[in-house]
Chains A and B, each alone.
Chain A
Amino acid sequence: MEPRRTSRMVIDPKVRQVGFVTLGSATSTGGAPPPDRTKSGPAAPSSQAVSDISPSGNSLSPVMIPPPRHASDNLSSSLVLHNSSRAVPVQVPMSPLRRTSMGDDMPLGSYNPSESLLGTSPSPSSKLDDGDFFEEDASTGWIVGGNPGKLASSFPGGGFDSTATKSSNFLPASNLTTATVVKIPPDKSGGPLVEVQTEQVAKPSKEKTSKAERRALQEAQRAAKAAAKAEGNKTATTSGEPTAMNVKPSKAVKASQKKDVTTGTSSVAASEKKGGDRPPEKDRKKDVPPPRMQFDDKQRVEKAKRRAVVKQTEVRNRVQLFRHLPQYEHGTQLPDLESKFFLLDPMHPAIYKVGLQYLSGDISGGNARCIAMLQAFKEAIRDYSTPMEKSLNRDLTAKISSYVSFFIECRPLSISMGNAIRVLKNLIAKLPLTLSESEAKATLCADIDRFINEKIILADKVIVRHAVTKIRNGDVLLIYGSSCVVEMMLLYAHELGKQFRVVVIDSRPKLEGQALLRRLVAKGISCTYTHINAVSYIMHEVTRVFLGAASVLSNGTVYSRVGTACVAMVAHAFHVPVLVCCEAYKFHERVQLDSICFNELGDPDAIAKVHGRNDVNYLDNCTGHENLQLLNLMYDVTPSDYVSMIITDYGMVPTTSVPAIVREYRRECLWIEGPSMAHSIREE
């Protein structure tokens, strides 16, 4: 939620008005409209202002779309003084709020199209002059506040934390957001300080400005569009707007601009924040996912091998088409690894255990693997102690990286795991240096727990709630593979007393459907079981297709267990709606058009042997033949036109909305760390 709001602040269409508005705001009188806001202006730092402001935010909340203007108002007003004092108290309540809100309040349609606006933050026009002017203001305010630079810098993090909370409904939350916003400017002013702390190198501001301007232009355009959209929603709240707008635009603009200017210099946290608004270009470049390891690149493969813990032998007959993917023999590593257990010094036992479980296939499924990994990381972090003369941030990150590469050797990472690792590394990187080691570790563990809770467990619950609304009595639901969300959904629907029948489609070599079938039948759900080739036979009677996904890529394609595309295609041909359930943390900004460029290859021997069928043994003694290749593809890519709807924790969205969610979600991830910072601050 909050990220959206903040973004909105940035978004404000009022940018154009800025010119004259700023004057008013500058005067700090703010003149006419709602007194609160005017007060909130630079002059009155008092907490009242905040409270006043917040209501407006609240009014918006039911729709879940906070009006950008107000937010910005808040920002501007808040900008002034409130930095430290107010923010802290408010923040504390936050965490509980979030919990509750997450579970219960999540509105079904929570996903806001307007979210996409977020990116628009920096207001373009009034850059330098205003900026300078503003800076003075801010600095003065800042001084008045009397907060040490550090505090201020840390605050923004706290604000983020609040943003991380999903429900905007709560007043406190809204307050928080405003508060956080306020802090930002001081943060910037304090930028140098922050900088020192984080040891980041400041960049020359001049460059920034130019970039900022360009960006600002884009954003302005986008903002205009967004505003047009948002307008409708806002109308209710608009009463106070004019003044707010006036006041805010100038300030907001300045603030944003300042951000831009200072970003280079500001601490990591600040930059992150900015990420929320709009990543600086360099950051944005970083956002492009790095090219994956291509296994037909001999040099790199050699290098990787030298580093590898797990000894991998190449499959004899590699499939030509998939030379770019690792094709190793399965089953040989396990004993090898086991024998090395005591030799692996740097590996934490928990990590080791999970790695072995991946290797042997005991843990499978995107969520399960991700949770297992995070838990292992948590344990590793708990037992971690910073070596002498190293900083926790860096050393721990390196450690995690080594763990991750171990996991990769056991089994290529799923996209969900990749996302989780990215978040974790972010969290570590943003740990305030002032934290003691134990505090930092505690914070990290809490953050990991929160990630698991919010992004996976609660998200699943939300998805189930959404999906159940799509089941009618008498439906025949077709499911493929075994997705835990889909299973939860079916069980929940059954508990609700809905009358439906399930068609379980299964495919070799994993036959995951059988276990699922057993569980469903045990619960008393009527099931039909068949194999994937018969899908067009059975599709006549099906009314809905529910699929899970390993990931949803930002061009709307669904990356999922191999065979999903076949099922979706047949359903499409029979005009049966296809609903894909996927948690938003699995979304990824990569794009992919076919299933070959990126995939995972399973054990080829699983193809040759048909489990439980002794009569099928044609390939028994010719698996070594040079002409024969066995291809065990693990995933495939379902084109977006086969997917009617994606059910995610942001609501039910069409595939075309995926890029928007990916964008917003990434931001949110960055912000999620906010709470930890807040805690840290408190502790300080």
Chain B
Amino acid sequence: MPDTQTIVNDFVIKLKRRKVEGSQATAKQTAELLRSVISQQRVPHTNQAGALIEAVKAVGEQLIAANPVELAVGNIVRRVLHIIREENVSLATNAIGRLNVSAGSDDEDDDERGDFPVLSAAAVAAASRSTLRPPSLHALLEDMPDLGAAHHTSSSGGDSEGKSKSADKSSRSRKLKHDVIEAVNELIEDIDTCHEQIAEQAVEHIHHNEVILTLGSSRTVMEFLCAAKEKQRSFRVFVAEGGPRYQGHSLAKELVARGLQTTVITDSAVFAMISRVNMVIVGAHAIMANGGVVAPVGLNMVALAAKKHAVPFVVVAGSLKLCPLYPHNPEVLLNDLRSPSELLDFGEFSDCMDFGCAGGAPLLHVVNPAFDYVPPNLVSLFITDTGGHPPSYMYRLIADYYSADDFVVQKRPASGN
């Protein structure tokens, strides 16, 4: 235990100091951290899932509080919680299935998210899960009678759990933890590979002689463009440098090295150039449930310009950036103000700062926000590792990845299940 606590503290400090850059790195580290938390968590005999959930939530709260703007942390915490719930339910249904000797109990152990169980046992699990789950046709049509049964079983879930536990306690307790860790490992793997899955779709979107504009740097975007290049598509890319960090330069360098025709432009020239651009492809910091995007600063301007010229504005992002929260005043609440030194040299302007001291309030303020909020009506398409989706569909995707109980991590709702 003390071991976990120190790891957690380390990571919290890193987050607080913004030492972890990029949502992907953050997500991966968070997942790894949670995995170790789970593996070290001692599991009681009763209500193991509850104990795991509590533990993860406790850690998750700290992490989220450490950097509330880095939504990827919260996303991963919710994903892990969701995994635990699903594993638990699938175990339970298995047990029920065995007890009830119902039709072929399919092992859904490693299906930690996603695919919908088609069998009745799975339907039971589905019914007991979040109401946001898309109803399966089977559940609706064929298994109507079963549904009743499902309700019955779910209501009596506690009992059955107890029974099943009593049946094979030791094996199950080990199994749940084992399954959860397995699933988290898969999640980590997903995080690592989501670029590739997104990049695979590049050929469908990028054609010959296209002119593509992007701003700043995103690994997803780079992989996406390079994948299209590898497929022998010849196109050119305008890279806006993305001040004040100018990561566009590094992206341009990468692209040039990979043989893409690249033109670096200033951020201010975006409006001038966009009339010659066929498509805007950008990365995102987080995707909100309403389809809005929290993106590197400057993208709202790009999106507006693209809208004005009817240029498709495409956001490529892994599903780990999908956040189940609805934004409220995102420009302020989901923003980070970075150091003014990126804009102004303190040395040069020290004398100006002095003027302020006389009057009390300083005369000179320097604002250096890190993010922009792009409202959903400016986004044409999201390309995630599960395919392309319009902004209006995001809330549905969220239902696939998260359980409704976890949307608010901080409050500790009465434990689900």
| A514 surroundings in chain B (CB, below 8 A) | 344, 348-349
- A552-578 interface (Cβ within 8 A of B): 561-563, 565-566, 569-570, 573
Contact between B366 and A530, CB atoms less than 8 A apart:
yes
Q: Are A532 and B253 interface neighbours, CB within 8 A?
A: no
- Verify B253–A619 contact, CB threshold 8 A: yes
Contact of A529 among B238, B246, B343 (CB under 8 A): B343
Q: What per-residue 1/0 map shows which CB atoms of B249-283 lie under 8 Å from chain A?
A: 11011011101111111111111110110000000
Which residues 533-588 of A sit at the B interface, judged by CB distance below 8 A? 533-538, 540, 561-563, 565-566, 569-570, 573
Residues in B with CB closer than 8 Å to A88 are: none
**When the two chains form their complex, are residues A627 and B363 in contact, meaning their CB atoms are under 8 A apart?**
no
B262, B269, B359, B363 — most chain A CB neighbours (10 Å): B269
The size class of the interface chain A forms with chain B is: 35 or more
| Contact residues in B for A525 (Cβ distance below 8 Å) | 363
Whether the Cβ atoms of A530 and B343 lie closer than 8 Å is: yes
B residues near A517, Cβ cutoff 8 Å: 349, 352, 364
- Whether A533 contacts B267 by the Cβ 8 Å rule is yes
Q: Are A529 and B364 in contact, with the CB atoms below 8 A?
A: yes
Q: Tell me if B367 and A530 are in contact (CB < 8 A).
A: yes
B363's contact among A521, A563, A619, by CB below 8 Å, is which? A521
Determine if B60 is an interface residue (Cβ-Cβ < 8 Å): no
| Contact (Cβ within 8 A) B262 A607 | no
Q: Does A438 contact B (CB under 8 A)?
A: no
Pick the contact of B264: A527, A534, A535, A607 (CB < 8 A).
A607
Report the separation of the CA atoms of residues A115 and B115 in the bound assembly, to the nearest whole angstrom: 73
Judging by beta carbons under 8 Å apart, are B266 and A570 in contact? no
B210 to chain A, nearest CB (A): 14
Contact A507 B272, CB 8 Å, known A612-B345, A628-B252: no
Give Cα A507 to B271, complex, Å.
14
Whether B331 is near chain A, meaning CB under 8 Å from some CB there, is yes
Cα separation A573 to B372 with both chains bound (whole Å): 15
Q: Please state if B256 and A622 are interface contacts (CB–CB under 8 Å).
A: yes
Q: Decide yes or no whether A395 CB sits under 8 A from chain B.
A: no
Q: Which residues of A contact B331 (CB under 8 A)?
A: 536-537, 540
A514–B272 Cα distance when bound, in Å, is 23
Interface centre among A529, A537, A561, A563 (most CB of B within 10 A): A537
Which residues of B, 181-205, contact A by the 8 Å Cβ criterion? none
A529-B365 contact given A508-B266, A524-B355, CB 8 Å threshold: yes
The proximity string for B residues 335-361 relative to A, scoring 1 for CB distances below 8 Å and 0 otherwise, is 100000011110011001001100101
Q: Does B300 contact A (CB under 8 A)?
A: yes
The answer to whether A629 touches B263 (Cβ under 8 A) is: yes
A529 engages B344 (CB within 8 Å): yes
With beta carbons under 8 angstroms apart, the residue of A528, A636, A637 that contacts B365 is: A528
CA distance A94 to B272 in the complex (A): 47
Please measure, in the bound complex, the distance between the C-alpha atom of A302 and the C-alpha atom of B172, giving whole angstroms.
85
Query: Is the Cβ of A628 less than 8 Å from the Cβ of B305?
Result: no
Inter-chain contacts of A527 with B (CB < 8 A): 363-365
Give A530 to B238 CA distance when docked, in angstroms. Answer: 24
Q: Let me know if B352 and A518 touch, CB within 8 A.
A: yes
Contact of A562 among B268, B297, B364 (CB under 8 A): B268
Q: Would A532 and B267 count as touching, CB distance under 8 A? A: yes
A625 to B276, CA, bound (A): 23
> Is B241 in the interface zone, CB < 8 Å from A?
yes
In contact, B264 and A633 (Cβ under 8 angstroms): no
A570 to B268 alpha-carbon distance, docked (Å):
12
Whole-angstrom distance between the alpha carbons of A522 and B352 in the complex? 7
CA distance A174 to B300 in the complex (A): 55
Name which residue of chain A comes closest to B355, CB basis.
A521
Name the B residues within 8 Å of A522 (CB-CB). Answer: 352, 355
Closest Cβ neighbor of B299 among chain A residues: A533
**CA distance in complex: A538, B335 (Å):** 12
A residues 497-528 with Cβ under 8 Å of B? 506-509, 514, 517-518, 521-522, 524-528
Q: Number of contacts between A and B (CB, 8 Å)?
A: 193
Residue A631 interfacial (CB < 8 Å): yes
Whether A569 touches B297, Cβ cut-off 8 Å, given contacts A618-B249, A628-B264, is no
**Which of B271, B275, B359, B368 has the most chain A CB atoms closer than 10 A to its own CB?**
B271
A565-B249 in contact (CB<8A): no
Measured between alpha carbons, how far is A33 from B382 in the docked complex, in Å?
79
The answer to whether B301 has its CB under 8 Å from any CB of chain A is yes
Contact call B367/A627, Cβ cutoff below 8 A: no
A518-B349 contact given A594-B275, A625-B256, CB 8 Å threshold: yes
A616 engages B301 (CB within 8 Å): no
Q: How far is the CA of A594 from the CA of B273 in the complex (A)?
A: 9
Task: Assess whether A636 is in contact with B269, with CB atoms less than 8 Å apart.
Answer: yes
Q: How far is the CA of A471 from the CA of B260 in the complex (A)?
A: 49
- Chain B: number of interface residues, binned into ranges: 35 or more
The complex places the Cα of A645 from the Cα of B31 at a distance, in Å, of 54
| Complex: chain A residue closest to B260, CB-CB | A627
Chain B residues whose CB sits within 8 angstroms of the CB of A561 once the complex forms = 268
Residues of B with C-beta under 8 A to A565: 271-272
Which residue, of A533, A627, A631, A636, has the highest number of chain B Cβ atoms within 10 A? A533
Do the beta carbons of B250 and A633 come within 8 Å of each other? no
Is A596's CB within 8 Å of the partner chain B? yes
B265 touches A534 (CB 8 A): no
List, in ascending order, chain B residues with CB within 8 A of A630's CB.
263-264
Shortest distance in angstroms between B158's beta carbon and chain A's nearest beta carbon? Answer: 50
Binary flags per residue of A601-638, CB closer than 8 Å to B gives 1, else 0: 00000011010110010110010010111111101110
Chain A residue, CB-CB nearest to B237: A627
Query: Is B304 in the interface zone, CB < 8 Å from A?
Result: yes
Chain A, residue nearest B378 (CB): A573
Chain A residues in 8 Å Cβ range of B308? 569
CB <8 Å contact, A536 and B301: yes
Check B268 against A507 for contact (C-beta < 8 Å).
yes
* Interface pair A537/B335, CB less than 8 Å apart: yes
A533 touches B243 (CB 8 A): yes
Minimal Cβ-Cβ distance residue in A for B366: A529
On whether the beta carbons of A509 and B300 are closer than 8 Å, the reply is no
The residue on A at minimum CB distance from B371 is: A537
A592 to B364, CA, bound (A): 38
List, in ascending order, chain B residues with CB within 8 A of A618's CB: 246, 249-250, 252-253
Cross-interface CB contact of A569 among B301, B352, B355, cutoff 8 Å:
B301
Is B270's CB under 8 angstroms from A566's CB?
A: yes
Residue in B257, B298, B345 whose CB lies within 8 Å of A533: B298
Q: Smallest Cβ distance from A576 to chain B, in angstroms?
A: 13
* Contact pick for B300, options A536, A632, A635, A637, CB 8 Å: A536
Distance, CA A416 to CA B343, complexed state (A): 32
> Is there a chain B Cβ closer than 8 Å to A595's Cβ?
yes
Mark B369-380 against chain A: 1 for CB-CB distance below 8 A, else 0. 100100000000
Top 10 A-B pairs ranked by shortest CB distance?
A563-B268, A533-B298, A595-B272, A636-B272, A618-B249, A536-B300, A565-B271, A507-B268, A618-B250, A530-B367
List 18 additional A-B contacts (Cβ < 8 Å) besides A536-B300, A633-B265: A507-B243, A508-B243, A525-B363, A529-B364, A529-B367, A531-B243, A532-B268, A535-B301, A563-B266, A566-B305, A570-B304, A594-B272, A596-B275, A618-B253, A627-B256, A627-B259, A627-B260, A636-B271
Mark B residues whose CB is within 8 Å of A. Answer: 236, 238, 241-246, 249-250, 252-253, 255-257, 259-273, 275-276, 297-298, 300-301, 304-305, 308, 331, 335, 342-345, 348-349, 352, 355-356, 359, 361, 363-369, 372
